[in-house]
């Protein structure tokens, strides 16, 4: 690996929509293999920042590098080197388990023979052999989310972005899901994750907390709990995010 | 005094059994929670109680009114906040509220007292289109609209899903206040920690109620010994706990891993020794009280064992 520095590098990121400042001078680094929790109140500007990091939206100003590529003019390279999943959109409901894997593998340019081998391995690993040809729409949510995550890292991206991946999932599946996240990070994939479950914030190596378009806190969960003199991240979050200055507008 | 009574409710969508023999009672003025993941049947149940869909079998009454026969009368005393934001995005905050007041034949002024504490927080934005509000503000407007006709029973379907921790706390504070006005409230949520804010809860999964009780009773009924285990390496800890011969369950829970042993003769020292052999440092094992989430997972495990034995 040539890239020994941070895998995500953000300096003074500003994003404006007309005169509304959605991201107000964000600066942070994410290290390779790290699980980075990106927390914030509703409307704090998380989604805007994630869209920029994924190459889907252009920053107004600032220096942003994702997997070594520039967020202004190398967005295609960024997209090839990241994976993405959210609770709202993950898999095609009207395709089967196998078809979804084949589809995503194809999009990322993996050769058909390789997709076939890897897909069968993955289906077996997830215990979905019986459901290989089942439409996604008839699978339970928990299985879908586990499959969606596996598909998001199928092309072995450097970074995977997870936007509220476990929302509404049952408590046991939620933990199995986090074990998959740990495993991915263990295998060197950087994980950038948002969540409203504050216990999940504790599983991250470091977390940032956004309020009003700015990062108000960034550290390891243990250090944040110590600095803010509370019991857990939930209370840190409430302390920091309780009194936002602005009433933000949903995009 | 009973406000809501459901007896043996069943509902299928094709092959999917959404409700599988649901029975419960909610007392007048009670704050009653349905706690469970997506797909547990919460929304289906609430739609039946609010007369929006019909059950396949069983019966239910709200304030003595039958949800099928007396649906017209029932609708006038129900306040309902659906899971998906369903106000008019292209009307302003104030217009939405006026609209809901007028279809129930009342005015904002007449019942302003009831919504005052909630509505004042969004009133500065009353000329703003509802579609342009942030998540927390939408939630407050939706609650105001559900309350403006002074309902006897309030039905809230996942009002805090996808909402940040601060807004969630504020929302539960509002519910506590409404309770003092004597309104019966049923609320559903996938967040297990919110169970503790209800008078009683039903833990629901796969269309079945696993348990109904007060939150403290649910915790009391937890029979297993539960330990919080911490070391310097959580990922490795989960792997190693799975290898430990005395492990029944091991699940990450925030800062620690919650562990239950197979049998009661379990000794903390044995586990500590096992972990330090596997080069863990800063090992800390403590017996703890369970949370509602621990209890939910324990019940889930029991159910799946029962299912396996049946099949």
Q: Tell me whether B190 touches chain A (CB under 8 Å).
A: yes
Check residue B280 and give its pLDDT: 95
Query: By CA distance, what is B258's nearest residue in A?
Result: A175
Give the pLDDT score at A86.
86
Q: Is A193 helix (H, G, I), strand (E, B) or coil?
A: strand
Residues in B touching A233 (Cβ below 8 Å): 254
Sequence-distant (≥ 6) Cβ neighbours of residue B166 within 8 angstroms: A41, A237, A238, A241, A242, B136
Residue B40 has pLDDT above 80, yes or no: yes
- Identify the three-state secondary structure at position B26: strand
Model confidence over A31-85: pLDDT tens digits? 999 999 999 988 889 999 999 999 999 999 999 999 999 999 999 999 999 999 9
Q: Which fold has domain A8-242?
A: Rossmann fold (3.40.50)
| pLDDT attached to residue B154 | 97
Nearest Cα residue to B241 out of A197, A175, A150:
A175
Delimit the domains of chain A by residue range: 8-242
pLDDT in tens, B123-139: 999 999 999 887 788 88
Q: How many C-beta neighbours within 10 Å does residue A248 have?
A: 21
CB < 8 Å to A189, chain B: none
Report the pLDDT averaged over residues B135-144: 89
Structure confidence by residue, pLDDT tens digits, A115-139: 999 999 999 999 999 999 999 998 8
Residues 210-269 of chain B whose Cβ lies under 8 A from any Cβ of chain A: 234-235, 238, 251-255
A245 pLDDT band (50/70/90 cuts)?
A: low
Distance of alpha carbon A180 from alpha carbon B49, whole angstroms: 39
B250 confidence band (pLDDT: 50, 70, 90): very high
Mean pLDDT of chain B: 93
Percent of chain B with pLDDT over 70: 98
| Statement: residue A248 has pLDDT above 70 | no
Q: Tens digit of pLDDT for each residue in B278-290?
A: 999 999 999 999 9
State the residue for tokens 């295998």.
A187
**Quick check: B50 and B155 in contact, CB under 8 A?**
yes
Instruction: List the single residue in A168, A179, A238 with the smallest CB-CB distance to B238.
Output: A179
With a pLDDT cut of 90, the percent of chain B lying above it is 82
Contact B166 A196 (CB under 8 A): no
User: Would you state the pLDDT for residue A75?
Assistant: 96
Q: Using an 8 Å CB-CB cutoff, list chain B residues near A234.
A: 165
Per-residue pLDDT reduced to its tens digit, B214-228: 999 999 999 899 999
Environment class of residue B69 by beta-carbon count within 10 Å: exposed (0-12), middle (13-18) or buried (19+)?
A: exposed
Can you read off the two tokens belonging to residue B71?
Answer: 């649906």
């Amino acid at each position: 690996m040539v890239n020994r520095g941070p895998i995500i590098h953000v300096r003074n990121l500003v994003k404006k929509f007309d005169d509304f400042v959605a991201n107000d001078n964000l600066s942070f680094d994410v290290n390779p293999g790290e699980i980075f929790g990106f927390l914030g109140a509703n409307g704090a500007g998380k989604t805007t920042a994630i869209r920029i990091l994924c190459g889907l939206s252009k920053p107004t100003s600032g220096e942003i590098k994702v997997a070594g590529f520039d967020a202004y003019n190398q967005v295609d390279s960024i997209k090839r080197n990241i994976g993405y999943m959210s609770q709202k959109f993950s898999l095609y409901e009207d395709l089967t388990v196998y078809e979804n894997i084949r589809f995503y593998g194809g999009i990322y340019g993996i050769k058909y023979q390789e997709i076939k081998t890897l897909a069968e391995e993955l289906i077996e690993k997830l215990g979905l052999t019986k459901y290989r040809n089942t439409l996604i729409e008839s699978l339970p949510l928990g299985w879908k989310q586990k499959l969606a995550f596996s598909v998001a890292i199928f092309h072995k991206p450097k970074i995977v972005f997870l936007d509220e991946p476990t929302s509404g999932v049952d408590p046991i599946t939620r933990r199995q899901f986090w074990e998959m996240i740990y495993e991915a990070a263990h295998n060197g994939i950087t994980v950038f994750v948002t969540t409203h479950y504050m216990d999940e914030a504790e599983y991250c190596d470091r977390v940032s907390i956004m309020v009003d378009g700015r990062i108000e806190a960034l550290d390891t969960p243990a250090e944040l709990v110590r600095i803010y003199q509370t019991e857990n991240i939930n209370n840190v979050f409430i302390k920091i995010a309780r009194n936002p200055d602005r009433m933000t507008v949903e995009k | 005094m009973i406000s809501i009574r459901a007896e043996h409710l069943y509902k299928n969508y094709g092959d999917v059994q959404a409700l599988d023999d649901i029975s419960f009672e909610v007392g007048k003025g009670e704050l009653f929670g349905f706690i469970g993941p997506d797909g547990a049947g919460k929304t289906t149940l609430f739609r039946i109680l609010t007369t929006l869909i019909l059950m396949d079998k069983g019966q239910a009454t709200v304030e003595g009114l039958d949800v099928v026969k007396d649906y017209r009368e029932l609708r006038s005393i129900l306040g309902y906040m659906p899971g998906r934001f369903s106000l008019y995005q292209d009307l302003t905050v104030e217009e939405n509220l006026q609209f809901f007041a007028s279809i129930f034949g009342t005015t904002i002024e007449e019942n302003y007292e009831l919504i005052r504490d909630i509505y004042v927080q969004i009133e500065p934005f009353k000329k703003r289109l509802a579609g342009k509000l942030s998540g927390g503000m939408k939630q407050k407007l939706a609650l105001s609209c559900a309350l403006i006709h002074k309902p006897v029973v309030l039905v809230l379907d996942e009002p805090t899903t996808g909402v940040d921790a601060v807004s969630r706390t504020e929302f539960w504070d509002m519910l506590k206040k409404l309770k003092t006005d004597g309104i019966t409230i049923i609320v559903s949520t996938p967040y297990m920690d919110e169970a503790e804010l209800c008078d009683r809860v039903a833990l629901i999964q796969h269309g079945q109620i696993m348990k109904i009780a007060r939150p403290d009773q649910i915790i009391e009924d937890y029979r297993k010994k539960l330990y919080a285990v911490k070391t310097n390496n959580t990922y490795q800890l989960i792997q190693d706990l799975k290898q430990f011969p005395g492990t029944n369950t091991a699940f990450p829970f925030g800062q620690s891993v919650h562990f239950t042993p197979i049998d009661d003769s379990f000794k903390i020292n044995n586990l500590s020794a096992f972990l330090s052999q596997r080069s863990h440092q800063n090992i800390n094992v403590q017996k703890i009280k369970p949370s509602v989430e621990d209890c939910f997972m324990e019940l889930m495990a029991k159910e799946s064992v029962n299912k396996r034995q049946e099949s």
